[in-house]
């Protein structure tokens, strides 16, 4: 399943620069609001679901080379965070849904923990 399909199916809002999402296939999913847990648990090219929206999520996503971060509950990162994400090639997506249902939808679509 491609990132483009996930964006379409979950009706996610793209916060960062557009990429060729149809050519990106996320490896797995991980959900936590604790950065060190994401650091330990999220896989390369995976999707990380969190309601943290501050600048430090970008460093985590960049280090782990995640395919995207989905920020839940409509939390809005500030302009600096989005700018940093664009600089580092990190894709930030947003949804008004809570983490639990977002993870559920991704699971239904076939994404696993990896």
Partner 1 sequence: MARTSEVIGGKGRVFTDEDASHISRIEELSYDLKIREVMTTDLIVVSPKMKMQDVLELLRQGRISGAPVVWQGKLVGLISLEDLIRSMVNHELHKNVEDYMTRDVITVKSTDPVVKALEKFARTRVGRLPVLDPDGYLIGIITKGDITRGILFALHKDFQAEEIRVYRASHLFEDIVSDRTSLIMRYRIKAGDFTHGGAASANIKRALLRLGANTQIARRCGIAIYEAEMNQIIHTDQGGLIRVEIEPHRILMQAIDDGPGIPDIDQAMQPGFSTAPEFVRELGFGAGMGLVNIRRCVDKMSLTSIKGKGTRLIMKIYLQPEDSLKENNDRSLQEEDL
Location of structure tokens 């060190």:
36
Q: How many CB atoms lie within 10 A of CB 98?
A: 14
CB-based contact 74:51 (threshold 8 Å): no
* 86: contact with partner 1 by CB under 8 A: yes
* 33: contact with partner 1 by CB under 8 A: yes
* 62: contact with partner 1 by CB under 8 A: yes
Residue among 1 and 40 whose Cβ is closer to partner 1: 40
* 7: contact with partner 1 by CB under 8 A: no
Q: Could you give the CA distance from residue 106 to residue 4 in angstroms, rounded to a whole number?
A: 13
**Footprint on this chain of partner 1 (rule: CB under 8 A):** 17, 33-37, 39-40, 44, 50, 52, 54-60, 62-65, 79-80, 82-83, 86, 88
């Amino acid at each position: 399943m491609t990132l483009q399909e996930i964006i379409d199916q979950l009706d996610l809002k793209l916060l960062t620069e557009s990429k060729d999402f149809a050519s990106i296939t996320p490896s797995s999913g991980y959900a936590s609001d604790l950065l060190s847990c994401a650091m330990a648990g999220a896989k390369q090219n995976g999707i990380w679901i969190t309601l943290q929206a501050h600048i430090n999520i970008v460093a985590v996503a960049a280090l782990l080379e995640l395919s995207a971060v989905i920020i839940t509950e409509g939390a809005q990162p500030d302009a600096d965070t989005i700018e940093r994400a664009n600089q580092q090639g990190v894709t930030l997506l947003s949804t008004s849904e809570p983490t639990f249902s977002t993870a559920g939808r991704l699971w239904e679509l076939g994404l696993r923990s990896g």
